[in-house]
Structure formats: structure tokens, C-alpha cells
Chains A and B, each alone.
Chain A
Amino acid sequence: MGQTLTEKILSRVMGKPVMAGETIYPVPDLMTCHDWYVVNFDKALRDLGVDELYDPTRVLISTDHEPVATNPLSADRQKKVREIVKKYGIKHFYDIGRGGLGHIFPMEKGMVTPGMFVLAYDTHVTNYGAVGALGIPMVFEIPEVLACGSVWISVPETVRVNLTGSLKPGMTIRDVSQKMIVDMGEDLLDYSVVEYGGPSLKDIGFGGRMTLCNNPLEMGAKSALIESDEWTEQYVKSRSDKPFTMEKSDPDAKFKAVYDYDLGLLEPQVAAPPRPDNVVGVSSVAGTPVHHAFIGSCANGSIEDMREAAMVLRGRKIHDGVRLFITPATQEIAVMAGREGLITDFMEAGAVMTAPGCGPCAGGRLAPMAPGENSINTGTRNDPGRLGTREGNVYLASPLTVAASAIAGEIIDPRKYL
């Protein structure tokens, strides 16, 4: 029987054919971890009596959850991170001002390429699926990977999605993506890899591909990845000298389900509180007052997202009583946004730029909400407390809808401003 792309990647890592359902211990090509966990994994390793990593050349640390220390405790944690990186001889360390959001810049820098297998301390490593790599989140067991080189996984099944049709004006991949995960449902997505292909893939760039690979996690998917195509080849070749192969699932591979999904959505979609799957058309929540807004995160912090936000914000002013934070996810995206004049558009509209990284989405340590406030943003999740306080309501939407709502002072259909 044929293999899925995921089975092929894991078979290559294991050096033998593996199929869905097998429990294996694959050694990742790369392991990533963010700034907030470094001190903790160091303690966990010391508690286990381990003072050398299995392979420090395969480890990447990024300072993205709290890039700008705002108090002496944070500054001290950053100092400790630098010391720990040095102690273990970790090869890839991207401190503040060097990389940005760790689920994105390794692709920009050509470090993550098609067919790679990556484990990470953070759920949204699945973004690497944008270039056809398999990123699997591990969280608590990362010290085991650092010490022993691997951790158990069950080879996941794959849900294949063929994208068809095209986006209508005012709709973005974020609208489609958050609607699609609800349409597929948690029972189907649970512990599955979502694999995207189909005729409309050619129209979707880096930012949209990351969004597609980011959202399914919120519904229990194990990972998501995009079948490599001409876009992938061009993107990766322009950024990496490493040889890579662009595998596809075999025609007779066994999928858990196969979907055709039309991009031709008719209304922008908003995930209302309290969960990312509480997705409704924007008209259902239109008029809700907005106090806090944010554009960025690993779901929507790309240059395409910045361009979409600027389309709405250019020449307009943010409503009194709304604060809008914009976080280009990486140094590269921030530089591009500057060169294209987007940052000027944002600042003139009254938005606040923050350092490349996760922005407020990383638990609201930066720019949180106050109790009783409503936020609309492009972050990944909207659980109570996600932006600092449980006593606030978080709505998730596209950069167009967030920018439009920041101008209107209430949730609004962005087509009014296009």
C-alpha cells in the first residue's frame, strides 16, 4: 500500500517504512524551543542528572514570547537563557533583534526545508508545514528529546484537503481557515495531520500557507502541511543551498478522509469567545464594542497580513478608545513592512508597533487587556485569560476585519473600507 507524505517523512527519519498507528521514537532533524521554557528545561535536565544534550547542533532557541524585557525579572530570565545556551553549546540561538517568531524565521532563513521533521516546545510549530516540513509539538516532554534524542509518537493518520475556487473580495485565508476547521470538526481532526493540495494552492503565498497550517491545531490536529509545488521550490531555493526533495503522498495512500474545500466563502468569519471553534459570520457579532486590537502572531504575522492591514488603515485613523498593536512576526517581515511604507501607514493611523515575535498573543504579558474589555485580534486562541485577564472577551478574525474594527470602534465587516 502507498504512503502519505507524513508516513514518508517519518519513514525517512526511522530508516524503515512506518505506517499510521505505529508507536515510534523518531530523532528530529531540528528541535525548537522558545525563551519562556529554556530555564525550565535546564532545571528538568539537571533534575534528571543530565548535563550534555543528545545533539546541541540540532537545537534552535528563539526569543519571541517576551522579546522586550519589561522588568528586572524578565531581564534576568533573558540573561539566564543566554548562559544556558552557552553551557550546552546550542548551535542556533536567535536572541531579541536577531530572528523573531521561531515558527516563521527558520523558514525565511532556509533552515527548515521540505521533508524535514521538527519537534518543538510550542504547539504552533506546525507552521513549518508551509514549506512541506512536518512540525510536531511536544511541550512537556522536550527535556527527554534534548537528553535522549527522541520521544514516542504514534504515526498520525492524514486528512487530505484539496483547495478549490478562489477568495472573494474582503475574504482572506484566515476566514476560510477558521471556518474550515470547524466544518471538518474535532472528531475528524483529532490526532490527524491535515495535508493540503489542490488546484487553488498555486494562488496562496507564504502567509496564507502558514495560516492554513496554524489553525487546525486548535481543533486537535497533530500537525498540518502543504504538498510541495512550484511555489515551494522557488521559495526554498531562493533561501537555502541545502538539497531537498519534494515528496507527495502516493496515489494509493490511505487517508482518514479526503475533502474538497472551496475558498469562495461569502462572509468574513469571526471566532467569538470562548473558543477558536465558536466561528460565526461577522454580521452575527457586528456592533460589539472594541477596546483592544492586535494584528500579528504565528497565524497572521506575515508580510501579506501586514499588507492587508495597511490596505484598510492607510489614510484612516483608529477610533478613540481603541488601542491597536501591530507585531510583524520576524525581523525580515518588519524590514519589508518598513521598506514598503506599511509601518508609516500604521503609525499615522495611530497604531502601536511592537518588537518582532509573538506579540500580545503569548499570554498577554505584552499589551494585555483590562477586565471588562473586548479584544479583536488575529491571534491563535481566544480562551478566557489568553490576553491576560479572564474577565474580557477575545474575538479572532482576519487582519482586514481587525483593522476595520479598530477604525470603527466596534466589530464590523471590513468590506465597508475596501
Chain B
Amino acid sequence: MHAMHTGKFSRADFTGGTLRGLTGFACVIIIAIVAVIVGNIVYHGIGNLSWEFLSEPPRKHFTEGGIFPAIFGTAALVILMTIAVIPLGVATAIYMHEYASKRSRVVHLVRLAIQNLAGVPAIVFGLFGVGFFIEFVGRGLDRGLYGGALVYGQPAILWAALTMALLTLPTVVVATEEALRAIPQGYREVAYSLGATKWQMIRKVVLPQAAGGILTGGILAVSRGSGEVAPVMFTGAAYALPDLPSRLNDQFMELGYHVYVMSTQAFDVEATKPALYSTVLVLLLLTFSLNFTAIMIRARIRRRLRNGR
């Protein structure tokens, strides 16, 4: 088209071609980076990956055996976190959207704060976890219930789970509110006009419709919960534990924390390298599949909304 201006290849075309080329090259670089990272991890990690690796505890300073305790610990952490975060997060979103006045300034501020809390660094949550949960609440419990003995005033899976729950709370609240907002107001009016109380309306119309969005938020929270290390580093995660966590005040092993410690502090890097890569691969697969599931659910919901089901 620009050839119509001048009969020959002009300087403008050259710049245009360069711009197109450069920006396209940027895309290529990014795609290459992702390919290299994933490829490198898969290549070095897949060899060691086996059912034994996933189901057995480590032996000989992590050069043999498996990472089952880390998987178990991660799962336990995430389950506790979910028990705390889903009811609180969903209730908060329901309160803000269905119960509070739409013109309340306080609610508006709270919503703003929740949305921006997502950008606060994870280590700050870890700091809070240590300073508040362990030192303040934990020691307080110890003084009050156990006469000063060290029971809860130390790193424990309970505190790590609560810290993680605070970290992921905004994710759940935002996802639930998004789902609530997508429900046409007409449904609520119809329910009221047929004699529903507020809770009946929420239970029978709103929650079933919002279920998909809530599920998405939950899965994203779980994905973040299993991948973030900073919040659990000092609130409960540990490196080499003889037993699996069985009580709320036990410490636990965790996949991400395990990767961190193994890669920075293990004394025989070469020998532990295969196990390390495989652990990373497991962590990667876990977060990928969770994210993928959440994306699929979200896409299905969007498609259904567009078709006006």
C-alpha cells in the first residue's frame, strides 16, 4: 500500500520493516526463553521421575529415594490453607456484593485495599507470619494454655497455613466478586418477588451461578499456595524432618522450600542435582496443571456467558 506513495522502497518502509522485525523478534525471544527454561527442567528432571520418587522418603542426604514428605507437606499446607481461605474469602465477597450498601465508602475502600494487597511482596506476609502468628499469638497461647512451654510459639504448619491464607485471600475475594457481578440482577429480583429471603436467594440462585468463578479463584489460590516459598520459610517449612506432620504445631517439608534449600545449601551439588531437577519438575507440573485447570474453567464460564445459557 505504501508503494503507492513512491515508486520505490522508501525510508519509511525501512523503518516500518525494522519496527515490525524488532517487535517480532521480542516475541521470539520470549517464546525462546520459556522454551529453554521448561525444556531444561524437563530434560534434566524427567530421568529421575518415577513412582518411587513420588512415593518414598529421601535417603542418603537426598541423593536417593524420593520426595514424598515434601509432596505430603505441600498438600497438607494447601488443604489447611483452603479450609481457612475459601469460606472467609467467599463470605467477604458475598458480604460486599449482596449485603453492604452499594454506595458505602467503607466498602469501596476495603475493595481497593484487597485488590492492591495482591501486589504486596510475599516476604512481607512471611514477616507478618513470624511476628504476629508465631511470636504474638503462638507465645500468647503458650503462656496462657501451657504455662510458658514452647508449643505454639514456634514454626508450625498451622501458622504457615494461616499466613498463606492471608496471602491468597485477595485472590479468592476478587474472583468471587467477579463471579457475583456477572450474575444478572434480574435473577435476584425474580427470587425476591417469589418470596425468597436473602439467604434463600443467595443459596438457590447466586451461589450455584457463581460456583464456577469461586472454583477458579480457589484453584488459583491453591496454585499460589503450593508455589510461594517466602511466606512459609520461617513460619513452618523445614528441610529434613524424620516424620510427616501429624499435629497442627508440627513443622513440615514443602516442595518449593525443598528446592530452595537443596540448591543453596546442599554440600554435594553434583550428586543431588538429579533429585533437585526432578523436584523442580514435580513442582512445575503441579502449578502448571492447577493453572491450566483454572484457565479452562474460566474459558468455559466465559463461553457460557456469551452464549447466554
- A and B, one complex? no
Interface residues of A (CB under 8 A from B): none
Task: Give residues in B with beta carbon < 8 Å to A.
Answer: none
